[in-house]
Structure 1
Amino acid sequence: MGYDLAQSLFTQQRNLILEGLTDYWYIETIAQILRNDNVVNLDEKIALVFANSASKVVYYATILHAHNLKVAALLDSDNAGDQAAQQENLVASLGQKNILRTKDYVSGIPKAEIEDLIRETLIEIAKAEYSVDVKSISDAYPSRPIIDIFTKEITGFSKYKLAKAFIRWSKTNDSTKLSSEELVNIKKLLETINKQLK
């Protein structure tokens, strides 16, 4: 099973494993925005692979590593991400430097998730999508992950719907519409991914 999985799904030499589909959408979309504006170019030879959960990241990383492919993983800094990052198999396969954590690219949010990289932009998108403005709450609780705030404050909130709205937003907006802090954080993350998967 492992060999077939590696042969069929992972044909690239360089692979970034993401926890879930929305993480994939965000990284792919953010990378495209910054590539289009010549801010930073996430190497297009890096395959973005989503594992469906933090726990499956370990499984995917182990298989890819066993097939001598270059692998890095981006994990949220929530409990599930913490558990995955501490698994011996993942550390043995990737080494600590190839286990990237969202909290390292967002200041002041210890349990940061990928959405916190573009927190201010998503607040505006959620306001347009759900007609609920959580900016004052976000400002009052800057260390709280934005997904926690959205989930509590917006009835019927969906991570998938928000991610899709961000993709739509990206069709008519460029990197100048991101906050300067978002741009710095994203640029640092993409440059680190390129470096670790060189």
Structure 2
Amino acid sequence: MDEPGLYLHARSQGDLLRHLEDDFTNQIVYTTHSPFMVPTHQLDWVRTVNIAEEEGTTVSNDPNGDARTLFPLQAALGYDLAQSLFIGPNNLVVEGVTDFWILSAVSAYLNEQGKVGLDDRLTITPAGGAQKVHYMVALLTSEQLKVLVLFDDEKDAKATRDDLAKGKLIRSDNIVFVSEAFEAPPTEADIEDILDSAVYEALVREAYAKELKGKTLELNARIPRIARRFEAAFNALSIDFHKTRPTRLFLQKMANDPSSALPARSEGQFERLFKATNAALEKHLSR
């Protein structure tokens, strides 16, 4: 068959693929350019087809060829990997990858210490940016999956919370804010604000030691969120600030010397946040 299911929706193509596998005993050969018609669970079935002036058309068991030839296979594997790594029956959607890194590392450490980490049933799902949270929630809820959202506490996040609730994509009590980590909640907060401010500053200075050599970093205490505070200070020095760099260093220190990266106060704040998140999950599952 040539391009079966060409005009079907992606999920319907998956249904067609299962139909061809399960309902026929004979061998079926088909061509496709769709990632959703690639049997990622049986990659030994896949053949790549290439055409060249000197060799003509060739069919290979090995995944070779140019980028266009391999794209459906790459896309299928990437989608399959994303589904298995970051999506589960119960999902905690977070804004960015640094949130994912910090929460995963701290939760694992607290669980190892017999303290309160995130419920093991939760899969932390990074949305790839605050502006993409709405779309990630829509995607997951359309698959009938359980979804919680952890937002930074700031104006835009609260607006997104209201939009999600108004659109009936998610109930408001399935949404947790970072500020719930604090006994006296601040007006604004990111995940980085749960870390000790002196620890975070040391991480930034170590991560950017080369760029900051011979320069004075002036932090504006009136900026409420610590990552934004450093971003503004770096901008004043014409240096790009990326949260990923100090966060990677934080992960290293959590692996080698966790007590230096996570003092008792920060530990308690993370436990408070995880308790609130776990309670939201229990409430969601009980409905």
Normalising by structure 2, report the TM-score.
0.59
1:123 aligns with 2:201: yes
1:111 maps to amino acid: E
Name the % identity.
Answer: 21
1:194 aligns with 2:278: yes
**1:101-127 alpha-carbon deviations (Å, 9 max, x no partner):** 112223453121111111423122223
- Range with greater deviation from structure 2 (162-171 or 81-90): 81-90
Using the TM superposition, give the Cα deviation of residue 137 of structure 1 relative to its aligned residue in structure 2, in angstroms: 4.8
**1:131-150 alpha-carbon deviations (Å, 9 max, x no partner):** 57x99957x54x71001211
**1:11-46 alpha-carbon deviations (Å, 9 max, x no partner):** 521100011111111111111221222222322231
Query: What's the counterpart of residue 110 of structure 2?
Result: 34
Query: CA distance change for structure 1 residues 135 and 195 in 2, over 3 Å: closer, same or farther?
Result: farther
Equivalences for residues 77-116 of structure 1 within 5 A: 77-88=153-164, 92-106=168-182, 107-116=184-193
Query: CA distance change for structure 1 residues 145 and 68 in 2, over 3 Å: closer, same or farther?
Result: same
Query: CA distance change for structure 1 residues 76 and 91 in 2, over 3 Å: closer, same or farther?
Result: farther
Equivalent position SS for 1:42: coil
Greater helix share, structure number: 1
**1:78-121 alpha-carbon deviations (Å, 9 max, x no partner):** 33322311214576232111111112223453121111111423
Equivalent position SS for 2:168: helix
Equivalent position SS for 1:16: strand
Query: CA distance change for structure 1 residues 99 and 91 in 2, over 3 Å: closer, same or farther?
Result: farther
Using the TM superposition, give the Cα deviation of residue 185 of structure 1 relative to its aligned residue in structure 2, in angstroms: 1.4
Using the TM superposition, give the Cα deviation of residue 67 of structure 1 relative to its aligned residue in structure 2, in angstroms: 2.7
2:181/2:271 contact within 8 Å kept? no
Using the TM superposition, give the Cα deviation of residue 195 of structure 1 relative to its aligned residue in structure 2, in angstroms: 2.1
- Range with greater deviation from structure 2 (84-93 or 143-152): 84-93
2:186 maps to amino acid: I
2:229 maps to amino acid: I
**1:143-163 alpha-carbon deviations (Å, 9 max, x no partner):** 710012111224432111111
1:37/1:175 contact within 8 Å kept? no
In structure 2, list runs of 5 or more residues that go unmatched: 1-8, 15-78, 283-287
Equivalences for residues 131-150 of structure 1 within 5 A: 131=209, 137=219, 140-141=221-222, 144-150=224-230
What is the distance in 1 between the residues matched to 2:225 and 2:254? 22
**1:53-93 alpha-carbon deviations (Å, 9 max, x no partner):** 22321222223223332110011123332231121457623
Query: What's the counterpart of residue 15 of structure 1?
Result: 91
1:61/1:90 contact within 8 Å kept? no
Query: What's the counterpart of residue 258 of structure 2?
Result: 174
In structure 1, list runs of 5 or more residues that go unmatched: none
1:19/1:50 contact within 8 Å kept? yes
Q: Which runs of 4+ in 1 moved over 6 A?
A: none
Query: What's the counterpart of residue 54 of structure 1?
Result: 130
Using the TM superposition, give the Cα deviation of residue 175 of structure 1 relative to its aligned residue in structure 2, in angstroms: 4.6
Equivalent position SS for 1:144: coil
What is the distance in 2 between the residues matched to 1:136 and 1:11? 41
What is the distance in 2 between the residues matched to 1:115 and 1:91? 30
2:153/2:178 contact within 8 Å kept? yes
- Range with greater deviation from structure 2 (101-110 or 28-37): 101-110
1:19 maps to amino acid: E
What is the distance in 1 between the residues matched to 2:230 and 2:274? 26
Normalising by structure 1, report the TM-score.
0.81
2:218/2:233 contact within 8 Å kept? no
Equivalent position SS for 2:91: strand
